[in-house]
Amino acid sequence: MDQVLISFDVDGTLIRSIGEDANAFHKRAFSYVMKQIYGVDGTIDAIKHHGSTDKQVLINTLAHYGVPPSQSEPRVPEATDKMLEYARLHPEEVSLGLEILPGVAALLQELHSRKTVLIGLVTGNLEEIAWMKMMALGIYPFFSTPQFGGFGSDHIERGELVKVARRRAEELFPGGIKSHFHVGDTPADIQAASYGGAHAVGVCTGVFSALELTEAGKGNKHGVTILTGLADQSLFLQTVGL
């Protein structure tokens, strides 16, 4: 049974930040970690971090505040544990300032109904936090069971996460994977798809333009498709050969 693997980025692809509390949970978790582990009062809003894994965001933000990577990196495992501690202490904050993007719930539900489609995540979020977001926003049931993906807790480089997701899918769902599509809203997602051996599907639902996503996809021998978003279900299904 040839299967189609579709991995989705989370922030900017499936969900977006809105209002005064935009992405408040994640921001607060990072600030908590920086204060508790490094003694730094700071916010990830101090740097541009779209497309980065959580570990990269932490290291780069601390560098902005004067803590060099040589000092921050050795304590990253301790820091990620502390971030999860914050998440478990404040589950009521998970969906604060977040909403599902148009068409996402309906598309995931349709993909979930197809027996040959495997649906997972590839995100810079730590695994537990990524699934907490999916649960809080009501789309967790539409992912393949058992749940799988590649996460910021697995590796600091996003391209490696695409490979991790495919390897886990192959282990969990025997039968062979015919094709792999990775969906994301940043140039980093497009490049990660290429590195990980997947067809890149760029969506213009974040802060990057179609041109920027197209440029990032140059040289991807597995293919690149740029969409305005995920609201046009028929177009997406056509893109992934369904």
Q: Alpha carbon 223 to chain centroid distance?
A: 20
The one-letter amino acid at 114: R
Q: Which of 71, 93, 115 is the last residue of a domain?
A: 93
Is residue 105 located within the same domain as residue 137?
A: yes
Is residue 143 located within the same domain as residue 219?
A: yes
The one-letter amino acid at 105: A
Is residue 115 located within the same domain as residue 44?
A: no
| CATH number of the domain to which 234 belongs | 3.40.50.1000
Cα separation, 181 vs 196, in Å, equals: 10
> Based on the structure, what is the number of domains in the chain?
2
| CATH number of the domain to which 58 belongs | 1.10.150
Cα separation, 242 vs 57, in Å, equals: 36
Is residue 43 located within the same domain as residue 70?
A: yes
Structural domain boundaries, residue 32:
24-93
pLDDT of residue 164: 97
Q: Which of 93, 117, 150 is the last residue of a domain?
A: 93
Query: 138-150 b/e with 16+ CB inside 10 Å = b?
Result: ebeebbbeebbbb
Is residue 50 located within the same domain as residue 76?
A: yes
Is residue 178 located within the same domain as residue 201?
A: yes
| Side-chain half-sphere exposure of 105, counting CA atoms within 13 A | 9
Is residue 177 located within the same domain as residue 119?
A: yes
pLDDT in tens, the chain (242 residues): 689 999 999 999 999 999 888 888 989 999 999 999 999 999 988 888 776 889 999 999 999 999 999 999 999 999 999 999 999 999 999 999 999 999 999 999 999 999 999 999 999 999 999 999 999 999 999 999 999 999 999 998 999 999 999 999 999 999 899 999 999 999 999 999 999 999 999 999 999 999 999 999 998 889 999 999 999 999 999 999 99
Joined together, the tokens standing for residue 234 give: 């028929």
pLDDT of residue 82: 95
Written as one string, the DSSP assignment of the chain is --EEEEEE--BTTTEEE-STTTTHHHHHHHHHHHHHHH-----GGGS--TT--HHHHHHHHHHHTT--HHHHGGGHHHHHHHHHHHHHH-GGGTTTTEEEPTTHHHHHHHHHT-TTEEEEEEESS-HHHHHHHHHHTT-GGGS-SS--EEETTT-SSHHHHHHHHHHHHHHHS-S-EEEEEEEESSHHHHHHHHHHT-EEEEESSSS--HHHHHHHTTT-TT-EEEES-S--HHHHHHHTT-
Is residue 13 located within the same domain as residue 126?
A: yes
- Angle, helices 24-38 vs 76-89, to 10°: value is 130
pLDDT of residue 20: 85
Cα separation, 85 vs 29, in Å, equals: 9
pLDDT of residue 143: 98
Is residue 121 located within the same domain as residue 214?
A: yes
**Contact assessment for residue 184 and residue 193, using Cβ atoms and an 8 Å cutoff:** yes
pLDDT of residue 47: 83
Is residue 179 located within the same domain as residue 233?
A: yes
Cα separation, 92 vs 103, in Å, equals: 25
Is residue 226 located within the same domain as residue 109?
A: yes
Q: Which of 61, 93, 125 is the last residue of a domain?
A: 93
Is residue 226 located within the same domain as residue 170?
A: yes
